[in-house]
A and B are shown apart, each in its own frame.
Chain A
Amino acid sequence: QKEVEQNSGPLSVPEGAIASLNCTYSDRGSQSFFWYRQYSGKSPELIMFIYSNGDKEDGRFTAQLNKASQYVSLLIRDSQPSDSATYLCALNTGGFKTIFGAGTRLFVKA
């Protein structure tokens, strides 16, 4: 079983809709969770991080964490064509090692 699993997509949503990106992980010792966005040909950049169970909101983005279910998600409200990118779920089990999922490609149709 992969340490971080994501649906590769592509996930296609119309402009203005909510995009829901999901991620599951296998290591119950994972302490922190990150969502990175990567545009084609560019480097990953952090969107959000979450450490505690529940929801964390930042602008149009909401990260949700459920450690009991080993599940983390990212909701993008009012999706824009500029949100079209690959979204990488990542986790850290303590300190120096951040493990990435394979990413979900998101297309927002104008």
Chain B
Amino acid sequence: DTAVSQTPKYLVTQMGNDKSIKCEQNLGHDTMYWYKQDSKKFLKIMFSYNNKELIINETVPNRFSPKSPDKAHLNLHINSLELGDSAVYFCASSHYDRLGAEAFFGQGTRLTVV
């Protein structure tokens, strides 16, 4: 029944490792997002996909590579993890609307790089 689900919920890993976060939505939305929320709770958009096409890439390091195999899935792969990557990563989805639309968020993935 979960509308936007992302896994894992917690991820603890060492610097230099590569990790992936998966996201799936069952709302029939055509647009999906990745947001990063840092320790100060600032929620910053990273990527936006519409119908599997990358629309927004907000000057995120190349180590971050999103992949959207279909409209219902948007995964995030991170190479060579750094300490500064520690944050909560939220996946979200919405219908496209010219005026903007409500975004439904997943439960978040708390990434800790040690």
Contacts and interface: CB of A to CB of B under 8 A. Distances in A.
Q: Size class of A's contact patch?
A: 20 to 34
Nearest to A45: B105
A51 interface: yes
Nearest to A31: B99
Nearest to B102: A46
Interface in A28-67: 31-32, 34, 38, 42-46, 49, 51
A98 B41 CA distance: 16
A94 B2 CA distance: 28
B1 to A, nearest CB: 16
Interface in B1-46: 31, 33, 35, 40-45
Given A92-B99, A102-B40, A97 B108 contact: no
Interface string B68-110: 0000000000000000000000100000111110110111100
A46 B50 CA distance: 21
Interface of A: 31-32, 34, 38, 42-46, 49, 51, 86, 88, 91-92, 94-100, 102-103
Interface of B: 31, 33, 35, 40-45, 48, 50, 55-56, 90, 96-100, 102-103, 105-108
